[in-house]
Amino acid sequence: MLNSKLLQTVNSSHHGSSSSSVFLLNKSSFLSSPSHHGSSSSIPLRPWSIYGRKISGGRLKTMSNNIRASAEISTTTSTEKFVKVKGIVTTRLTIAGALSHLGLNRALDDLTDLAKRTLLIELVSSELDPKSGEEKEPIKDFAQWIGQQGEQVSYECEFEVPEDFGEIGAVLVENQHHKEMFLKDIVFNGFPNGPLHINCESWVHSKFNNRDKRIFFSNKSYLPSETPVGLQKLREIELARLRGDGQGERNQYERIYDYDVYNDLGNPDKTDELARPVLGGPDHPYPRRCRTGRPPTKKDPRSESLSNDFYVPRDEAFSEVKQLTFQFKTLDSVLGALIPQIETRLVDENQGFPYFTAIDSLYNEGIHMKKVAKEGWFNKGLLPRLVKAVANEANELLLFETPELLDRDKFAWLKDEEFSRQTLAGLNPCSIQLVKDWPLKSELDPEIYAPQDSLITTELVERQIRGIMTVQEAMKKKRLFKLDYHDLFLPYVNKVRELPGTTLYGSRTLFFLDEDGTLKPIAIELTRPRNGDKPYWREVFTPSRCNATSCWLWKLAKAHVTSHDSGYHQLYSHWLRTHCATEPYIIAANRRLSGMHPIYRLLFPHFRYTMEINALARQKLINAAGIIESAFSPGKYSIDMSSAIYGKEWRFDQEALPADLIRRGLAVEDPTADHGLKLIIEDYPYANDGLVLYDALKEWVSFYVNHYYPKLEDVESDTELQAWWTEVRTKGHEDKKDEPWWPVLKNQDDLIGILTTIMWVTSGQHAAVNFGQYHYAGYIPNRPTTARTNMPVEDPTDEEYKSFLTRPESTLLDCFPTQVQATTVMAVLDVLSNHSPDEEYIGGELEPAWAEDPQIKAAFERFQGDLKKLEGIIDGRNADFNLKNRAGAGVVPYELLKPYSEHGVTGMGVPNSISI
Q: Cα–Cα distance between 913 and 916 in angstroms, integer? A: 9
Residues 6+ apart with CB under 8 A from 568: 428, 431, 485, 488, 645
Cβ contact 506:487 at 8 Å? yes
Catalytic residue among 586, 752, 780, 916: 916
Q: Vertex 793, ends 792 and 797: CA angle to 5°?
A: 75
**In terms of DSSP bridges, do strands 119-125 and 168-175 run parallel, antiparallel, or are they unpaired?**
antiparallel
627 catalytic residue (yes or no): no
Q: Which helix (H) or strand (E) holds 809?
A: helix 808-815
- 249 and 310 in contact (C-beta within 8 Å)? no
Count of all residues that appear for the chain in the document: 916
**Eight-state DSSP code of residue 128:** B
What single letter denotes the amino acid at residue 185?
D
Please say whether the beta carbons of 142 and 116 come within 8 A: yes
Asked if 903 is an active-site residue, the reply is no
The residue annotated as part of the active site, out of 574, 597, 733, 835, is 574
Residue 869: partners with Cβ closer than 8 Å, 6 or more residues away: none
Query: Alpha-carbon torsion 17, 21, 22, 23, what sign?
Result: positive
The phi, psi pair for 728, rounded to 5°, reads -55, -45
Answer whether the bond into residue 192 is a cis peptide, omega within 30°.
no
Given 486, 564, 569, 579, which residue is catalytic?
579
Report d(CA 229, CA 812) in Å as an integer.
72
Cβ atoms of residues 535 and 520 within 8 Å: no
Q: Helices 416-425 & 685-708, crossing angle to 10 degrees?
A: 0
CA neighbor of 718 nearest in space, from 751, 759, 742: 751
Of the residues 733, 766, 775, 835, which is catalytic? 766
CA 527 to CA 511: how far, in whole Å?
Answer: 18
Q: How far apart are CA 209 and CA 105, in angstroms?
A: 13
Name the 3-class secondary structure at 820: helix
432 closest CA partner among 480, 488, 492: 480
Q: Is 916 a catalytic residue?
A: yes
Task: Yes or no: say if 187 and 87 are a contact pair by the CB < 8 Å rule.
Answer: yes
Q: Which of left, alpha, beta for 559 (phi over 0: left; psi -120 to 50: alpha)?
A: alpha
* Residue 806 CB neighbours (<10 A): 9
CA distance 420 to 479: 14
Q: Using H for helix, E for strand and C for coil, what is the string for 638-692?
A: HHHHHHHHHHHHCCHHHCCHHHHHHHCCCEEECCCCHHHEEECCCCCHHHHHHHH
Per-position DSSP letters for 316-360, written without gaps between them? GSPPHHHHHHSHHHHHHHIIIIIHHHHHHHS--TT---SSHHHHH
Return d(Cα 587, Cα 582) in angstroms, integer.
9
Which residues, 6+ apart, have CB-to-CB distance to 453 below 8 Å? Answer: 439, 440, 441, 442
> Between the CA of residue 827 and those of 47, 336, 341, 384, what are the distances in Å?
68, 12, 12, 8
What is the separation of C-alpha 788 from the centre of its chain, rounded to a whole number of angstroms?
A: 32
Q: Is 189 a catalytic residue?
A: no
Q: Considering only CA atoms, which of 591, 589, 585 is closest in space to residue 599?
A: 589
Residue 177 is a catalytic residue: no
DSSP string, 26-43: -----------TT-TT--
Catalytic residue, chosen from 199, 770, 790, 834, is 770
DSSP for residue 213: P
Whether 751 and 709 have beta carbons less than 8 Å apart is answered as: yes
Q: Which residues contact 99 (CB under 8 A, 6 or more apart)?
A: none
Positions marked active-site: 574, 579, 766, 770, 916
